[in-house]
Amino acid sequence: MRDQPSVREAFALLVAGPTASGKSALALGLAERLGGVVINTDSMQVYAGLAVLTAQPPPGEQAQVPHRLYGERDPAEAASVAWWRGRALEEMQAARAAGRLPILCGGTGLYFRALVEGLVEIPPIPEEARAEARGLLAAEGPAALHARLLAADPGTAARLRPTDSQRLARAWEVWRGTGRGLADWLARSGSESGTGPARLPDGTPWRFAALRIDPPREALRHAIGLRWEAMLKAGAVEEVRALLARRLDPALPAMRAHGVPEVSAMLAGRWDLAEAGRRACLAIGQYTKRQATWFRHQALAAPSETHTIHARVTGMEQFSESELREIFAFVC
């Protein structure tokens, strides 16, 4: 059992894992039993108008316990890691002041890492560098931009996939706009140029414990298929149609949320609904594999402060009494 948090200590629980692993169900159950506030830690669930496709907790669940940072950001405005971190810290502090346990729930590893370890502050990027990055991406595609980055900033390029257009453009603009690569800036995290680990305004450091869900691949594939069918019934196509009607920049993160590109292609007549679903589930499955790998190899908390659940979580009722005692002993 972990040491009990002191009265003064700022303690928060992290519930992390890949898409469709059951994070929201676990966080809800824990929040009900422990008097918690669930704080979104998913980069897509911050956007309004995508409640179905990003699998935000439904209104009924959000009414059971306080939920924060779900559907808060307009899709026309990209949500940065720095914006999320600032808002998350505000909500964590508010929860603590109200005598509630902050429970950060999601699958975006970068958000968790920025919260726990700190976030480097990169100087403002000149508009010329941003325009150049967007122009190269549009004219040459992500693979060619990755090749350019490999020659100019190999340390950063090695961290990025040649298909990750958003992060490639960001890496290019940082290199062009500051004269230093993104990997070099990130290496300074925690120094005088970074925000440092999460603290209260009075300097008290936050202490984190992590529940990591790591279900078998087959269980995730099955859950992804079921979730997709449920999303279609709940209005996923209508969500995409409304999003497209706004004629937003296709490079915005919300326009690349899981299911949006595939349903968009279906609405444009390139695929039928079955093919859109097949491609969407395949893309989600590939993403969950990367998520699971990241969470297995990145420490969100100290080993003694991390507990792994090797099953998909469908609700607190699935756990035996002994398992529940183990989980509560770990958290409390």
Tell me, what amino acid is at 138? A
pLDDT at 189: 52
Q: Where are the domains of the chain?
A: 10-119+195-331, 127-186
Q: Which residues are annotated as a binding site for ATP?
A: 17-24
Per-residue pLDDT, averaged over 120-142, amounts to: 89
pLDDT in tens, 56-102: 999 999 999 999 999 999 999 999 998 999 999 999 999 999 999 99
**Structure-token pair, residue 106:** 């999601």
What length does the chain have? 332
Q: Is the Cβ–Cβ distance between 25 and 219 less than 8 Å?
A: no
10-119+195-331 is classed in which CATH architecture?
3-Layer(aba) Sandwich (3.40)
Q: Which residues are annotated as a binding site for substrate?
A: 19-24
Q: Give 188's pLDDT tier (boundaries 50, 70, 90).
A: low
Tell me, what amino acid is at 253? P
Spatial separation of the C-alpha atoms in residues 263 and 279, rounded to whole Å: 10
Fold classification of 127-186 is: Histone, subunit A (1.10.20)
Q: Which residues are annotated as a binding site?
A: 17-24
Q: Is the predicted pLDDT of residue 190 greater than 70, yes or no?
A: no
Tell me, what amino acid is at 19? T
Among 12-21, 126-135, 181-190, 308-317, top mean pLDDT goes to 12-21
Q: Give 281's pLDDT tier (boundaries 50, 70, 90).
A: very high
Q: What is the bridge-based pairing of β-strands 10-16 and 206-213?
A: parallel
